[in-house]
Structure 1
Amino acid sequence: MSSGPLTLLAILGLAVPLGSQPAADGAVRDVIGRSSDFSTRLYRALASRSDDNVLLCTASVWRGLAALLGATGGATREELRTALGLAGLDPQNISDALSTITGTPAGGGALNLRQGTALFTEASAQASAQFAELLRRDYGGSVKSLAFDAPQDASEAINAWVRQQTGDRVQDAVTDVDPRTKWLLATAASYQGRFSQAFNASATADERFYVDRYHVATVPMMLRADKYFLAYDRSLRAGVLKLPMTDGAAALLVLPDEDVDIGALEEQVSSEKIRAWIRQLKKTKLEVQLPRFFLDRTYSLGDALRTLGVVQVFGDDADLSNAGGPEGAKVSQVLHKAVATMDESGPGDAAAAAAFSSPPPRLTFNRPFHFVVYHQTSGGLLLMGRLRDPTKK
C-alpha cells in the first residue's frame, strides 16, 4: 500500500532517529531502544485520555526532554533520566548517539525534513550562555527571550518562529500562552513523506468508514493492488500492514478485527510489540483500500508526562542550575503539535500498480486503526497515531 505526503510539527523537541549508519553499534542501538520504550509509554498515556483521533510525534518529545536533561541537576536530573530510561548513561553519550542516529539515511539522499529547536525564556529567567551553546551544538537549537506577560505577542512570536522553521507549512502552533510562563521548550518540524507505492487518484472513490457502531462517515478511499508486507497479531486480533516510504521510513497500519476496540488494542502497544510486528511481516498479493485523511492535533503534555514520572522539572523546586536557571525557574509549559496528511501523492517516478490475473484479497481500512511511522534501518520510532474519524482533524 502506498500513500502520500506526511507533514508533522512538534512543539517540545524533535528527535528523528534516522541512522546515518546501520544500528549495529551497541550504544546507538541501546539509545534507540530506550527512546522507543519511552515513546510507546507516552503514547499510551496520552491516547488513554482521548476517544478522538490521536497524532503524537513521540520521538520529538523524547528528544526535547533529552535536551532538557542538560539543563537539570540533582534530583531533578535523576528523575528525568529515570523517566526517559536513560539512567546509567552519560548525558554526553546520549547527545553523541542522537547526533549519530539523526544523520543522513542509509543509502544516501536527504530526509524530507525541516526542523528547529528553541527554548523560549522570560527575561528574568534567562538560560546561561553555556546551556545556549549546548542547545546549539548538540540539538541545533537556540535560546530566545520572550515577554510572556503579553500572551498575544508571545503567541505570535512563537508562531512566527514555527513558520520560519517549517517553511510556512504550519501556521498556528500556539494559540494561548500562560502569562506566568518562565520557560517554554519548543521544536517545530515539517516532514514530507512520500510512500514508495503511490495510489492512483483516479481509483479513489467515496466509501463508508465505520467510526463506531452508531456513526458511519463517507470518506475518499484510495485503492491500489500490489505486493505488500503483511502480518497478523493473533493475541491482539489485528492485521498489520507495512507501507514503505522513499526516504527510508515506513508506516505500520494496525487494523483490529471488527469486534476489537481500538482503545483496548492500544493499551497493549509497546516497543517490543512493534518489533514483533516487523519481524512477522511477510510479502503477499493484496488490494489495499485506505482513507485519505488529514490530522492536526495539539496537546499539553504535562499530565501525561507526570504519569511517567516527569514531575520535578515542572515544580517550584526544579533544579535547572546546569542551565543557569535563576531561583524559581521551571518549565512552565510543555506543548506538542502534530500535523499529518495522507493522500495519493508519491514519488515522481511512481511505478504502476501491479497487474494480477485475478483480483487479490482486499484489506480495507474502513474502521478505526492505529499507525506507527518508524525508520527502517535503525528501528527508531518517529510518530504514532490513531485514526478514529477521517472526517475530523
Structure 2
Amino acid sequence: MMKCLFVAMACLLFGASGEPAPNSSIDTHVLSQPYAQFGFDVLRELASNKSDQNIFVSPTNIAVALAMTSNGASGATRQAILQTLHADGQPVETFNAANRALEEQIAGTTAVQLSMANALWLQQDIPVNPSFRQTLQAAYSAQAENLDFRKASAVETINAWVAKHTNDRIPKILDQVDPSTVALLTNAIAFKGKWTMQFDPKVTQPHDFKMANGTLSKVQIMQQTAEYGYSNAEGLEAIRLPYADGTFAMYVVLPKNDTAMQSFLQQLTADAFTKIVSSLHPQRGTIELPRFTITYDATLNAILTKLGMGNAFSDHANFEGICKAPPHLRISEVRHASFLKVDEEGTEAAAATSVGIRATAIRIEPPPFHMVVDHPFFLAIRDERNGQIIFTGSIGKPIS
C-alpha cells in the first residue's frame, strides 16, 4: 500500500550580523543529522492525524532559510532558532561555514540536476544593518535587492525569482506582503534525477491504492524487477531506489497499515532513519510504485512555535542584527511550498521557503522480494555523499 509524501517550499518574512566568509573545508556532514532531525520533526507535526493526505517538504530548504534568518537574531531568539534546527552549540562561524560548504557541494553536483538559491529582499527605505547583508552574501551567496513592499510589483518580483529557481514548478509563494515588512528571505531548491534502473512505461498499469480511511483509489503503478537495497523487518518494508550513479537515492518505507504508519512517523528520528538505511541489503525482487504528481504548501508558524521557535514570532523577538530598534522586528510568516513528480524515468522535485520579518508591534541469498506500494507510505530523497535529507514526506493519496 502507498503512503503520503510531500515536497515543500518555504518563505520567511520579517517586518520593520555579520560573520566572516566561511571556508569550504568544513565537512558538510556537520549539518546532515541536525537538518534531518529538524525535517522529521516538521513532517511529524504536519502529518499528525492526516494520513489520508500528501505531505512533502524539503528539510534542507526550510533549514537554510532559517539559518540565514538566525544571522539577524540575537540572544534568546537566535538560540530558539538554532535549537529548533538542532544546531545549537555550534559557533556562528562554524554554522555559517557548514551551510556554505553544503551550498558549494550542491552547486558542484553533476550526477543529477540539483540547484539551490538564496535571496534577501529589503524594504528600500529602512536602514538595514550592512553586516547582515554582507554575511548572507558571503556565507549563503544570497542575492540582495531593495524593494518597496507596499507595491504589488514586489510580490511579482519575488514570485518570479521563486519560479525561476524551481524550474517553474512553484510559480508562486506569496499572495501579498504585509506593508510593514522590513526584510524577506527566500530559499529555493530544485532536483531532477533519472532512476539508475528506469521503469518500463509499457508495464505500468492501473492498480487499487488503499487510503487510510479504507477507500480504494485507482492509481498508475510502475513495476521493476532488479536488485535493490531492501529490508523487511519489524513491520516495515524499505527499499533504496538510486538515481544515476547512486550519489542520490529515494528511500521508500512502507508500514503494514495506517496505525503502523502513524507510529512510524511519531517515532521517526535521524538516528532511526540511519538505522533503516543501514539495515538494507542487496536483494533481487520486484517493486511496484505509484506514478504520481503532487503539490503542497503550508504556513509553518504554528509548527515552528511548537518545535521551540516561539520567541522569534513574539513581541519579545530580538532581530537587532537586521535593523537596530526602532522598529522592533519579529518573524511574521514562514511559508513553504513544494512539488513532486515520480514517473518511470525518475523524479522531479522543487521547494521554496520564505521568512518574513516585520515590525511589531554476511550474506545468505534471500528469496526475491515483492514490494507493492499500494497504501500510505513514507519517502525521503537523500544525498548519499553527506547523508543530507533533501526532501521527505508521507504519501496518502498519490495522483497520476
Structure scoring higher RCO (CA < 8 A, sep ≥ 6) equals: 2
1:105·1:111 contact (CA, 8 Å) conserved in 2? no
Shift of 1:99: 2.3
2:41 match: secondary structure: helix
Q: Does 1:136 align with 2:134?
A: no
More strand by share: 2
Distance verdict in 2 for CA 1:223–1:141, change over 3 Å: same
In structure 2, the residue matched to 1:375 is 383
Shift of 1:298: 0.7
User: Where in structure 2 are there 5+ consecutive unaligned residues?
Assistant: 13-23, 348-366
Q: Does 1:364 align with 2:364?
A: no
In structure 1, the residue matched to 2:397 is 389
Distance verdict in 2 for CA 1:133–1:390, change over 3 Å: same
1:193 match: secondary structure: strand
1:8·1:339 contact (CA, 8 Å) conserved in 2? yes
Shift of 1:40: 1.7
Shift of 1:132: 1.3
Distance verdict in 2 for CA 1:180–1:90, change over 3 Å: same
- State the alpha-carbon separation in 2 of the partners of residues 331 and 168 from structure 1: 27
* Deviation per residue, 1:89-133 (Å, 9 max, x gap): 111111212222333479973541233212334445453222112
- State the alpha-carbon separation in 2 of the partners of residues 254 and 372 from structure 1: 9
Q: Does 1:292 align with 2:302?
A: no
The aligned amino acid for 2:322 is A
**Percent of aligned positions with the same letter in both sequences?**
24
- State the alpha-carbon separation in 2 of the partners of residues 197 and 181 from structure 1: 48
User: Where in structure 1 are there 5+ consecutive unaligned residues?
Assistant: 1-5, 14-19, 348-358
Q: Does 1:39 align with 2:47?
A: no
Distance verdict in 2 for CA 1:9–1:308, change over 3 Å: closer
1:155-174 maps to which residues of 2 (within 5 A)? 155-174=155-174
RMSD: 2.8
1:7·1:190 contact (CA, 8 Å) conserved in 2? no
In structure 2, the residue matched to 1:200 is 200
The aligned amino acid for 2:79 is E
1:269-348 maps to which residues of 2 (within 5 A)? 269-326=268-325, 327-346=327-346
Shift of 1:190: 1.8
The aligned amino acid for 1:243 is L
TM-score (ref. length: structure 2): 0.82
1:338 match: secondary structure: strand
The aligned amino acid for 1:335 is R
1:244 to 239, 242, 245: 242
Distance verdict in 2 for CA 1:34–1:315, change over 3 Å: same
2:212·2:258 contact (CA, 8 Å) conserved in 1? no
2:397 match: secondary structure: coil
In structure 2, the residue matched to 1:62 is 63
Distance verdict in 2 for CA 1:74–1:141, change over 3 Å: same
Shift of 1:147: 3.6
Which piece of structure 1 moves more, 290-299 or 262-271?
Answer: 262-271
1:37 match: secondary structure: helix
- State the alpha-carbon separation in 2 of the partners of residues 95 and 230 from structure 1: 36
- State the alpha-carbon separation in 1 of the partners of residues 141 and 45 from structure 2: 29
In structure 2, the residue matched to 1:113 is 114
1:104·1:110 contact (CA, 8 Å) conserved in 2? no
- State the alpha-carbon separation in 1 of the partners of residues 139 and 108 from structure 2: 24
